[in-house]
Amino acid sequence: MKLRRLAATLLAAIFVTAGLQATGIAPASAAPRVLYYDASQAQEFVAAVNQGAQIWNSRATNVRLEQVPAGRTPNIRVYADNGWPRTYTSSLGNGYWYMGREAVNDGYYVPRIAAHEFGHILGLPDRRTGLCADLMSGSSAPVSCTNANPNSTEVAQVNANFRTAAKVPAQTYVWAGAPAA
């Protein structure tokens, strides 16, 4: 009786071990690149910044935006001021951006601005198509536009950027007005 129970226990242990090994050899999907962002200086826009990050996280598969843990240098810093929203990239996935009250006070949808500015950090340029369906159309879409989601082309471009670690030149993007030359 005792022996049989021991045998059963051993057999169970073998199955567990085999199961773990099977998991170990399962083809792992490539982990997304994690970018840490610091929204602690985004003032009244912290929630909107987090929302913008979540929008990308729910769509892009090759990159993930996470709040920076204590003691770690962020890839992205987010600020707020009274100017236009704008982004300063240094390389793909790195830079800083401003939530600007000039656009917020004009009535532009804040989560759309946040997702748009993160889009620049993820390697997307402005495409002023005037279409609300395009996230990167930015201020060229009507002020009433409340679409904060990237379209499938924009998501595909971001995934491609991080799959190939695309080289993106340092650049400044401004929500409205003439882009900084």
Residue 74 or 138: the one with the smaller Cβ distance to Zn ion is 138
117 is catalytic: yes
Q: Residue 121 corresponds to which amino acid?
A: I
In the complex, the smallest distance separating the C-beta of residue 58 from Zn ion, rounded to whole angstroms, is 21
86 neighbors 178 (Cβ within 8 angstroms): no
Q: What are phi and psi of 149, to 5 degrees?
A: -100, 135
| Chain centroid offset of residue 63 CA | 7
In the complex, the smallest distance separating the C-beta of residue 112 from Zn ion, rounded to whole angstroms, is 11
147 neighbors 112 (Cβ within 8 angstroms): yes
In the complex, the smallest distance separating the C-beta of residue 125 from Zn ion, rounded to whole angstroms, is 8
Q: Which of 44, 66, 102, 117 is catalytic?
A: 117
| CA atoms in the 13 A half-sphere facing the CB of 106 | 18
Residue 18 or 176: the one with the smaller Cβ distance to Zn ion is 176
Residue 32 or 91: the one with the smaller Cβ distance to Zn ion is 91
118 neighbors 53 (Cβ within 8 angstroms): yes
Contact footprint for Zn ion (CB under 5 A): 126, 138, 173
**Active-site residue numbers?**
117
